[in-house]
Structure 1
Amino acid sequence: MTTLLVFVGTILFLIGIHEGGHFVAAKLLGIAVEEFALGFGPSLWTRKRGETRYSVRAFPLGGFVRLAGEAEAATDVPFERTYYGQPAWKRFILSLCGPVANVVLAVAVVLGAILGIGLPRPQVAGLVPGRPAAEVFEVGDVILTVDGRSAWATEDVGAAIRALAPEPVTFGIRRGTEQLEVTVVPVFAEDDGRYLVGAYFLPQLVLAQVDEVAAGGAWLRAGFLPGDRIVSACGDPVGSFFDLYARWLDGCRQATVDRGGAALALPLPDSVEGLFGDASFRTLPPVYERPGVGEGVALSFKEIGGAMVGFVTAIRGLLTRSIPAGEAVTGPVGIAAVLGQGVRAGPFVLMLLVALISLNLALFNLIPFPALDGARMAFALYEMLTRRKVSPRVEMAVHAAGFAILIGVLILITFQDLRRLFG
């Protein structure tokens, strides 16, 4: 129920912001707004104020701003205040303002999460025996700086190592209440074809303690039960799940388990799919720290920029068929499932997901497909460039056909999401 409420609330909020962008733009541009609605279908609540009717409708998976003259229905509004009575540049700005509102919201939410909650600092989540990092790091060390620069993401750590290798890399870390500075010399790993220090850097520490085991899965078949704490693998002490994984990659398939004070010897799963997919392990909360305002703003735009690149990459992969459609797109069911995971992960992750959905809503609407804002902008741009206006009836017919196609695609994606979730 919580997931459903969060999903409905998020969708209504984001669509309200999107349509609010169109609404405010229309008012500022002098275009008459006949209705501002959240949802589709029969009205649950309606009120008229001035020339605009405000309504909440039964199905909360959409919304709209009905402008005077946008449909073929008769209107008492003077032509110069109708949608098609506006010059092309006004219609272009009007269509653009919905996506812009969602982008602004996404930036604001990310900035609020970073400055209000903080960012999860990278941590040493595991060490590879015999590699340089094992000599200076301990599992649980929090990475503060790399080469004198703040490290706010695991990508920062990896990028610094790649940039400096094979030269020594200096890390500022926090170990308990103590702040230290350590230096590691990366070594070239021939099996990976790159320089490594031999540590797993993650935003959360995953302990080597079984939380849940899948029925019939590899861990349960091997004899593991929830609560089991893995203390060593092939005689080497294990401080985290990724300590265990490093030894598993080295060929170790035997673990010593502490089960209620009793030591047991149990075999490890043979496949990496079984190792990662058939059990969950106890995870400690991230270590959140807030950057300064200036750095927080820069990090917010970095997050938004990365999400934009991800969207464009997904669309390109979908068009070139290099990414399966099931991986590139998701519908309401998939979004609800992701938001449910965000609720369980905590407010920071949930806020980032809301920002990501808002940004994707903006970018999706900018695609020049009929019924989307991008197509309306394309019609307006065509008129500005050619000085020729497309017949309103033709444009409305194009958008109606596009809307029907989008509804059909949405139904297909929903079935795909249901099949993926429930098999």
Structure 2
Amino acid sequence: MLSILITILVFAFTISLLVFIHEGGHYLVAKRAGVWVHEFAIGFGPAIWRRKWGETQYALRILPLGGFVRLAGEEAQSEEDQQVPSDRLYTAKPPLARVAIVLAGPLMNILAAVLLMIAYFSFFGTPFVEIAEVAADSPARSVLQSGDKLIELRGEQIYFPEQIQSLVQRSEGHPLEAVIDRGGQRLTVAVTPYRENPNGPYFIGIHFSFPLNQIAELPEGSGLARQGLQKGDIIQAVDGKPIGSWPEFLQEMSSVLQKQSQISLRVRRGQTRLDLPIDSSQIAPHELKQVKPQYEPVPATYPIVQQVKPDSFLAQQGVRPGDRLISANGEEISSLSNLLRALLRASGGDGHVRLVLQQGEETRSLEFSVSGMGMPEILQGLQLQVAQRKPGIWASIPIGFRQIRDTIVLLYVGIKQVITGQASASEAFRGPVGIANLLGWSLTRGFDYFIRLVALLSLVLGVFNLIPFPALDGSRVVFALYEMVRGKPIPAEKEGWVHYVGFIFLMGLIVLITWQDIQRLFRGEL
């Protein structure tokens, strides 16, 4: 209950701060242009605090989901506007002045995002971008491996996954040169982006969160579902071959489908291990892509134990702080992703693990069983050394701007997918519940995660408001530019109705997305 209360308070504070920055931009430029400001409010609904200084009333309202600056003459003139000198009405100002007032809000959010990003890089640094897994059908699987740390792509230093995605989208399918760190050795490889459909975005088939063998989505009526597989099942082996990651499962299943044979699928359901007989002829090839795994965020790490809780499972087996992980069951360990894969394979087989560690000149081997255990239970209390770098304050400035640029590219791709019907708005966006959940999650990961998320939310708020849709700032810019071309303004009443209809539509969309978020929350998908 306390964590829920903290999440709600953090959400209210964050949204109020971002709205204050946004509306503050409108307010400052409006004052500078000589426009009379009736009210500067944070939130909607009844006011819980208000005070008047000079000509402007300042208010905090009960619902911290937005805010507004009420300018004299902005909508159809009211009785209140009759008391305002005519030269101080919003509509009395030239179109360019009105454009400046409108753009000030989104630009303040974007500026705040840039400054927060620069501060983030300067004070916290950033982990290396590490590949958790490579998709089974990706061309990159021949040159990239789990645990590789991406240093450069297309000649650009890599600091965030979004940066990679942005470069891939701008590649137009041409091969990209990548510099990677693999176990301390620098390698240069070429990766070729691909599309899953002719009009879709480009991918290179790498995951930055580890795709566990646990099923998160399974279409009802699919061949696998009809033969007993369920959502939440953990895939352990295909025909007796232990599975260490989701791409390995897809690879084995693709091979099985070509043979059209009877197979055995070993799964863990709760605390029970089951062997399901599967007739592969009953499974359509496209069904495998519709089955989605559970993803586990995996930080970029070095194979050095930074901390292990004394009463944890691995501590009881003899793992100590300062240990360097060398191998597990003969598989080299260079990161947490490698360790996860080796443990998953062991869990799907006989459960036996032989872990080789080194500390100083001492090399030792630990042998234990993980049979019947889940990854959270095995890895509880283990913390590996994070592979991190701090670029410094001056280097952080261009990095911060690049991060903003790359995020804007991804926002454009997401909005384009919604407009073209490739994704629904409820899938592409998050409402208040989803945002609150993200903020709560970021606090559990650390203050640096929280700062970065606030920067991204500020950027999204700024960019979204630039869209020329009724009720958003972008549409007000369009009306002002139309007036410049036409030579006279559209009647305030008509413009007001356009924005009112847009506002109702946006509120309806927010309600729909919020309902979807609530459903995801109860299904454990948020």
Q: Fold-level match, TM-score > 0.5? A: yes
| Residue number in structure 2 paired with 1:28 | 32
Using the alignment, how far apart are the partners of 1:332 and 1:414 within structure 2?
8
Residues 16-415 of structure 1: pairs in structure 2 closer than 5 A: 16-70=20-74, 71-74=77-80, 76-115=83-122, 116-125=124-133, 139-145=146-152, 150-152=157-159, 153=161, 155=165, 171-175=179-183, 179-182=184-187, 201-206=206-211, 221-222=228-229, 230=236, 233-234=238-239, 238-251=243-256, 254=264, 271-272=287-288, 275-277=291-293, 280=294, 283-287=297-301, 289-290=388-389, 292=391, 293=393, 296-313=396-413, 315-316=415-416, 324=424, 326-327=426-427, 331-333=431-433, 335-336=435-436, 339=439, 351-390=451-490, 394-395=491-492, 397-415=493-511
Using the alignment, how far apart are the partners of 1:263 and 1:41 within structure 2?
54
Distance 1:55 1:121, change over 3 A: same
> What's the offset of the Cα at 1:274?
7.3
One-letter amino acid matched to 1:104: L
Distance 1:282 1:254, change over 3 A: farther
Structure 2 counterpart SS, 1:25 = helix
| Residue number in structure 2 paired with 1:196 | none
Verify the 8 A CA contact 1:47 1:55 in the aligned structure 2: yes
Verify the 8 A CA contact 2:151 2:178 in the aligned structure 1: no
Structure 1 counterpart SS, 2:91 = coil
Structure 2 counterpart SS, 1:31 = coil
Tell me how many residue pairs correspond in the alignment. Answer: 398
Give CA deviations for 1:22-79 in whole Å, capped at 9, x if unaligned: 1111232233323211112221011223332211012222211123444423354433
Verify the 8 A CA contact 2:42 2:66 in the aligned structure 1: yes
Give the alignment's Cα RMSD to 1 decimal: 4.9
Structure 1 counterpart SS, 2:80 = coil
One-letter amino acid matched to 1:400: G
> What's the offset of the Cα at 1:149?
6.0
> What's the offset of the Cα at 1:91?
1.9
Using the alignment, how far apart are the partners of 1:138 and 1:345 within structure 2?
26
Distance 1:318 1:171, change over 3 A: closer
Aligned residues with identical type, % of pairs: 30
Using the alignment, how far apart are the partners of 2:409 and 2:205 within structure 1?
26
Verify the 8 A CA contact 2:41 2:67 in the aligned structure 1: yes
Using the alignment, how far apart are the partners of 1:100 and 1:137 within structure 2?
39
Which of 512, 515, 519 is residue 416 of structure 1 equivalent to? 512
Give CA deviations for 1:307-339 in whole Å, capped at 9, x if unaligned: 434444555555555654545666545544555
Distance 1:72 1:353, change over 3 A: same
> What's the offset of the Cα at 1:119?
4.8
| Residue number in structure 2 paired with 1:195 | none
In structure 2, stretches of 5+ residues that fail to align are 198-203, 258-262, 302-386, 521-526
One-letter amino acid matched to 1:404: Y
Using the alignment, how far apart are the partners of 2:464 and 2:191 within structure 1?
42
Using the alignment, how far apart are the partners of 1:251 and 1:108 within structure 2?
53
Structure 2 counterpart SS, 1:140 = coil
TM-score norm. by structure 1 comes to 0.71
Using the alignment, how far apart are the partners of 1:186 and 1:246 within structure 2?
20
In structure 1, stretches of 5+ residues that fail to align are 193-198
